[in-house]
A and B are shown apart, each in its own frame.
Chain A
């Protein structure tokens, strides 16, 4: 529908054109040479002036502005690049320092650990030795005491037996006979009593 109307309008348009040409004495005003010279003159004048002013005054300024901006931006980019490189080297240095200090601290840690372990070991060794000596000494003492103990016990047994015999019977008994009996008994049952 719209298409149809559009084409109709275009058709009418041309129709209208023909009427216009019929009505106009000269047809298109463009083909009327009355003002051609004037138009040529003013075109030359205005366009010439425009060209001269643009090319001599304005365009060089715009071009200079653009160049200046370009160079400034370039400079800024270069400065930024430099700073970036700087910061990168600084960062690398920083990382290096951190790595070195890490290694160093590790080493220190290791050394001290070894040192402490060595120290502990040596101290432990000496302590062990001391303890062993003490143990040996006490063992010897115990051994001596053990040996002495049976004799003392025998002696005490003899004295007690003789005393008991004297009190019970009221007679003196020869110590040597009692000691012989005690010796005999202790030999028989010594193991049971002293637990050797």
Chain B
């Protein structure tokens, strides 16, 4: 089991099997880490917002810095019209970030390394953004597929490419996060396996790689959460401020 780098992604039931109609909604290790991440976010931000002093303490500073970081990210990419969606993007960023970061602790489970999780998030974003676009602009939203300043001859081709790129957004968004998480964790597991198999004489090199990879993976965990949130902002920007 230890030698297989893919076993870390296996989902297993914790506790009894729960059935909702025909569907199996048992509590699994994936569910456990979703709950842990959400609880951690709620606890940190609850403590960070409880007291209000002019000079904030560390946890309050953390909460407020995160707040201003996300709010600046949204206003920079999607403008002031995106303010009503701040809570959603904040929750999304924090959820993905905490899931990624909890996955960096040894023997934990990485929720975002499962394509179904990232795909559901991405699909929800895609559908919501499309609905927002059509609600705000009506059928004028379709002008998104017709960039300005393109020669008429090229238009049919460009429109097809634009539609394909628009439709592939949820796939690229979800696969980006999932693949990054899975590849990183698999790589770390493989290097960890090399440390064991090469023993005390040859194991130092893969161990040093493993150490370096841990740092890199922490960076990737943050970066992918940031990319996920900022791409959501960019899609939202397309829907809110239609450029044509």
**A interface with B by C-beta (< 8 Å):** 2, 5-6, 9, 12-13, 16-17, 20, 23-24, 27-32, 34-44, 46-47, 49-51, 53-55, 57-59, 61-66, 68-69, 72-73
Q: Which of chain B's residues 107-131 have a Cβ closer than 8 Å to chain A?
A: 111, 113-117, 120-121
Inter-chain contacts of A54 with B (CB < 8 A): 41-42, 45, 87, 90-91, 94
A interface footprint on B28-41 (CB within 8 Å = 1, 0 otherwise): 10110011011001
- Whether B5 contacts A20 by the Cβ 8 Å rule is yes
Per CB-CB distance, the 4 closest pairs between chain A and chain B, nearest first, are A55-B87, A42-B31, A61-B49, A46-B34
Q: When A29-B10, A30-B113, A37-B25 are in contact, do A62 and B63 touch as well, CB less than 8 Å? A: yes
- Whether B116 contacts A46 by the Cβ 8 Å rule is no
- Number of CB contacts from chain A to chain B under 8 A: 149
| Residue picked from A24, A42, A49, most chain B C-beta under 10 Å | A42
Q: Which of A17, A30, A42, A47 contacts B25 (CB 8 A)?
A: A42
Q: Does B178 contact A (CB under 8 A)?
A: yes
Inter-chain contacts of A50 with B (CB < 8 A): 38, 41-42, 91, 94-95
- Listed A/B pairs (29) with beta-carbon separation below 8 Å: A9-B191, A17-B5, A28-B6, A30-B116, A32-B11, A37-B23, A37-B24, A38-B11, A38-B27, A39-B31, A40-B120, A42-B27, A42-B30, A42-B35, A43-B111, A47-B91, A49-B38, A54-B41, A54-B45, A54-B91, A57-B46, A59-B67, A59-B90, A61-B49, A62-B49, A63-B67, A66-B68, A68-B52, A72-B54
